Amino acid sequence: MSINALNTILPLFGVMLAGYLFERFRILKRGSSEILSGFVFLVSLPALIFISLARVPVGEFFNWPFLGALGGGMLAMFAISLLIARTVFPESLTANGLHALAATFSSTGYVGLPLVLIVFGETVLVPGIIGVVLPVALLMPLAIIIAEADKCRDGGRILQASLRGLIRNPMIVATIAGLLVSWSGIFIPEAIANGFQLLGDAFIPCSLFSAGLFMAGATVKGERVEVGWVVLTKLVLHPLLTFWLAYWVLKLEEPLAAIAVIMAAVPTGVTVFILAQQYGAFVARSNAVIVVSTVLSLVTLTSLIAILGR
């Protein structure tokens, strides 16, 4: 591992460790984790997404080769993981769908975006935002559709549940609003824009600290073989597939190719655990996958950044 890679990764995990220690030793008041997580998810990240997209041409968001590499890797690995889950770890369709989600849904909001901004700088903010929005737009509806279908609901209710999950997501709302402002040419007064930017600037430290707070309350329980396989898929197989798509199939230019691979390589997102709780399936295993993949990603992400020459 190179010193440069360690110098990039260690500050991120250092902030996460600080959050972990503050929660572990009860330095903050009870409920602080939920408050900070709510601020990141409902306020800071949506503000950053909105003002960033509002300031750039719409065409920069719709970079089809980049969308193809990142989204194609997600969808292909989701399908493969679902097939493996149904064959090797047969259970309810809901649990197997959440297995596939845990193997592909990256923590791009809490880990991925801060990481690519530190590695590449503010110039890659738009592709970084795409990396945050795409898993929510592609993978979450798939998991919800599978879970709702497992309940034997009619097609209309399944579609309604999926759409409801999308339109209630602050990241999706902020993305649509930002793109509409950019497309329409609406002028945002400097004072208002600066307010959004100020909220967005708090995103990186708050998201990392919040991730640490969550880790302190998480536990590692569940079927070890399945958890190990999901973690291997998330940290190794998913980024390898995305690497192949980005560098060999679609031949993306740098730094877009590297960003696609890094976004695929970050650990499993907390959203998987929340959805598992909602449907009462794969709960302990999703929690374990998040914890183990986050801890191991210190090694895998550092190695990846060194391999990519960053």
Beta bridge mates, 268? 106
Q: Phi and psi of 268, rounded to 5°? A: -65, 140
Say how far apart CA 246 and CA 203 lie, in whole Å.
28
* Mean pLDDT, the chain cut into blocks of 10 residues (310 residues total): 70 87 85 81 88 86 92 96 94 92 90 88 88 86 82 64 72 88 90 93 85 74 85 97 96 94 92 81 87 90 85
Q: Rounded distance, CA 272 to CA 276, Å?
A: 6
Check: CB of residue 50 under 8 Å from CB of residue 176: no
Sign of the C-alpha dihedral computed for residues 31, 172, 66 and 162 taken in this order: positive
Closest among 265, 259, 257, 264 to 301, alpha carbons compared: 265
pLDDT of residue 223: 78
- Closest Cα partner for 262 from 247, 276, 277? 247
Structural domain boundaries of the chain? 3-305
Predicted confidence (pLDDT) per residue in 153-183, tens digit: 555 666 676 677 667 778 888 888 999 999 9
CATH topology of domain 3-305: Na+/H+ antiporter like fold (1.20.1530)
**pLDDT tens, position by position, 246-286:** 999 999 999 999 999 999 999 998 888 878 877 888 888 88
Q: Are 141 and 167 in contact (CB under 8 A)?
A: no
What is the distance between the alpha carbons of residues 45 and 129, in angstroms, rounded to a whole number? 9
- Is the dihedral angle over the CA atoms 10, 126, 171, 63 positive or is it negative? negative
Helical H segments across the chain, by residue range: 3-24, 32-39, 45-54, 58-61, 64-88, 93-104, 113-120, 125-150, 155-167, 170-184, 190-201, 203-217, 224-232, 238-243, 256-265, 271-279, 283-307
Torsion of CA 102, 103, 108, 109, to 10 degrees: 0
The per-residue pLDDT for 310 is 61
